[in-house]
Every structure is written in C-alpha cells, then in structure tokens.
C-alpha cells in the first residue's frame, strides 16, 4: 500500500542532523511508491532543501521566519501544523530529540492522531506499519501499530540505517507563508548560550568512551579524552561521575541522561547500574573496563577487560595510535 511520509528535518546549530537522513531513508523504504516529503522549519533553512532531496525527499516544505530561528514550542507547532495541512501525509516522522519529543504530542493532540515514540525499527505487516520501541528502560521491546488515520512517530537517532545520498536527486520546494506573530508566542528564546564542548556530539557519535565513578576525578577524564581523540570518539559519563563533579551533566548517559546507540561503547570504571544501561545497552559493540570481575556491566559487554582503567586505557591509546594515527 503506498503512503505519504512527511519527515520533520531535525536541525542543530544550523546543520541537519544525521537522524533526518535515517528518517528519510526509512520513509523511502516504507512509502511503497508513495510520496516522501520533508519539512524545514526555522530561519535561513531553505538552503538545506537540496540535501533532503539527495536522501529521498520529493517535496520540501519550508517555513522560514525569524521568530523560528531558535526552537519555540508554539511557533514550531503552528508551522508544522500548517505543513501537515498542506502536505496531507499519512505518517509524520520526527526525531526523538528534544524538539521532536516536545512537538510530536502537541501535534498528535491537535490532529486527534496516534503517536508512537522512540522507535528503533519499522516493519510492514500487510497494510500496517509495525514499530518496535524499547520499554522498561530498555529491558524489553514492544511492537506497536496504529490502526487508522494520521500517525506521529518519533525515531531514536542512530538506529535506522541511512542510504548513500544521490546528488542527482531534486525536490520540489514549497515555501509556506505561515503567520507567526511574535506576540502570539507564549515563550520567546532571547539568547542561546552554547556550552563549549570538546569534539564530537555525543548523541550522534559512532564511538563513545565513557567514564564512571571509577575514573575518580576530572583529571582522570583526560585519560579517556586521549583515547577518544585517537578514535575520533565522544566522551560520555555515568551519573555517578557527574554527581561526583568529575564532568558536566551534558555528558550523562542513561535513563535520566542521553540515550546513545553508537557502533562502539567503551565503558571505563562504570558498574553498569540499570539506569545507566537504559542509555547505552543498544550500542552495537560494548567494551567494559572494570577492576571488579563481578561488575554488572560485564553482563551486557561483548568484550570485557578486568583491570585498572588507568593502566588499560593508556595502553589501548598507545596501541591504537600505532595503527590509527
């Protein structure tokens, strides 16, 4: 059954995030000959339309307005509502990011539609789309289908595969003049103060080197940063390490932190509490370094190294430098 899928492009710091390409690829696969369109909402965003076309969008709806330069809940919701009314899709894909998680339920309520959140897999069963999503903090998975009508779906980054872009593909760009008077917005973002972060974005990283309370200090994290530099990886942390003041909460992975699914997750001095596993257990390959052979992290690890991280990590860094640098 052919269907029309609309993908809301997920933008951060003026760039299209990888999850957008993953959503477009999935959209092409399940459209079954139907339409794949994309929505670009923000300010000075039309320039990204070509890129969305390269990943499979046939039509790109653009709402480009100054009040939307930063994410504002009412403004984005109004803009996306206008796009949906114009495009009339069967399914709307949004990233399971801060923006997607905020805007999807608002729109689902406005359209009296069903919503499935944080999906990691899509299958078809006859005419139905069946979505897999983790439950109980990642301990189990459930399959969900919405029978009729418009569907809002938020997609967990780094789970669906993305196609190679085809630069010969073009899209029909439709600019929508949605009225968003500044005084209609209940919240206004006046200024965004960005944290200066070292290196790779954690939520999109392919490799993560992560540290726990076993790292023992902020200086200890420098040892992990050196390994991360050699691997081109991001550095993450357990809440134990954040609570102890060794690193910033922006680095926290887990139930109350970021959910990550890198190709390789190297856990150093992390015990493996259920709340930490909730944020990383879907990583493709997990390596654990811990001096306690009974640490629960070894139950989810593909490779385990029992040892002192301050001996093991520098050794790994030196050996990897020989082959990678």
Binding residue ranges: 213, 238-239, 252-256, 269-276, 290
**Which residue's CB is nearer to ligand FAD, number 87 or number 305?**
305
Q: Which residues would be at the binding site for ligand FAD (CB under 6 A)?
A: 212-214, 238-241, 252, 254-257, 269-271, 273, 275-276, 279, 289-292, 295, 308-310
Nearest Cα to 116, choosing from 101, 126, 138, 127? 101
**Which residue's CB is nearer to ligand FAD, number 151 or number 156?**
156
Shortest gap between Cβ of 194 and ligand FAD (angstroms)?
22
**Which residue's CB is nearer to ligand FAD, number 240 or number 262?**
240
Tokens 């300010």 locate to 43
d(CA 293, CA 20): 40
d(CA 23, CA 172): 19
Shortest gap between Cβ of 95 and ligand FAD (angstroms)?
20
**Which residue's CB is nearer to ligand FAD, number 153 or number 289?**
289
**Which residue's CB is nearer to ligand FAD, number 72 or number 289?**
289
**Which residue's CB is nearer to ligand FAD, number 124 or number 255?**
255
Shortest gap between Cβ of 279 and ligand FAD (angstroms)?
6
Using CB atoms, what's the residue nearest to ligand FAD?
Answer: 254
Rounded to whole angstroms, what are the CA distances from 176 to 41, 86, 179?
Answer: 10, 9, 9
d(CA 271, CA 240): 10
How far is C-alpha 250 from the geometric centre of its chain's CA atoms? 15
- The residues facing 133 across adjacent strands are 142
d(CA 306, CA 311): 11
Shortest gap between Cβ of 2 and ligand FAD (angstroms)?
41
Shortest gap between Cβ of 293 and ligand FAD (angstroms)?
9
Nearest Cα to 303, choosing from 286, 323, 319, 315? 286
Shortest gap between Cβ of 168 and ligand FAD (angstroms)?
44
Per the annotation, where are the binding residues for FAD?
213, 238-239, 252-256, 269-276, 290
Q: DSSP string spanning 154-203?
A: EE-TTSS--PPP-TT---EEEE------GGG-S-------PPP--SS-GG
């Amino acid at each position: 059954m052919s269907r029309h899928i609309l993908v809301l492009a997920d933008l951060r710091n003026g760039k299209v995030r990888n999850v957008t390409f993953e959503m477009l690829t999935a959209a092409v696969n399940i459209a079954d000959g139907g339409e794949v369109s994309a929505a670009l909402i923000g300010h000075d965003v039309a320039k990204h339309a070509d890129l969305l076309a390269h990943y499979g969008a046939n039509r790109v709806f653009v709402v480009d307005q100054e009040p939307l330069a930063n994410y504002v809940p009412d403004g984005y919701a109004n803009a996306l509502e206008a796009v949906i009314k114009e495009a009339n899709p069967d399914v709307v894909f949004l990233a399971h990011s801060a923006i997607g998680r905020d805007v999807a339920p608002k729109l689902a309520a406005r359209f009296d539609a069903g919503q499935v959140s944080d999906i990691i897999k899509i299958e078809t069963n006859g005419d139905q789309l069946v979505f897999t999503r983790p439950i109980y903090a990642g301990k189990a998975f459930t399959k969900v289908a919405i029978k009729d009508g418009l569907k809002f779906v938020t997609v967990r980054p780094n789970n669906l595969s993305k196609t190679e872009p085809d630069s010969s593909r073009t899209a029909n760009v439709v600019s929508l003049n949605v009225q968003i008077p500044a005084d209609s917005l209940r919240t206004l973002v006046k200024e965004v103060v960005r944290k200066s972060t070292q290196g790779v974005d954690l939520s999109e990283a392919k490799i993560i080197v992560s540290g726990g309370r076993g790292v023992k200090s902020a200086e200890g994290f420098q040892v992990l940063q050196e390994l991360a530099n050699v691997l081109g990886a991001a550095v993450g942390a357990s809440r134990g390490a954040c609570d102890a003041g060794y690193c910033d909460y922006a680095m926290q992975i887990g139930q109350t932190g970021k959910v990550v699914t890198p190709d390789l997750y190297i856990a150093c001095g992390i015990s493996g509490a259920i709340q930490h596993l909730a944020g990383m257990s879907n990583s493709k390959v997990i390596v654990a370094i811990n001096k306690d052979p009974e640490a629960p992290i070894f139950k989810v690890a593909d490779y385990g190294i029992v040892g002192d991280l301050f001996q093991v990590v520098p050794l790994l860094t030196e050996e990897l430098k020989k082959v990678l640098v």
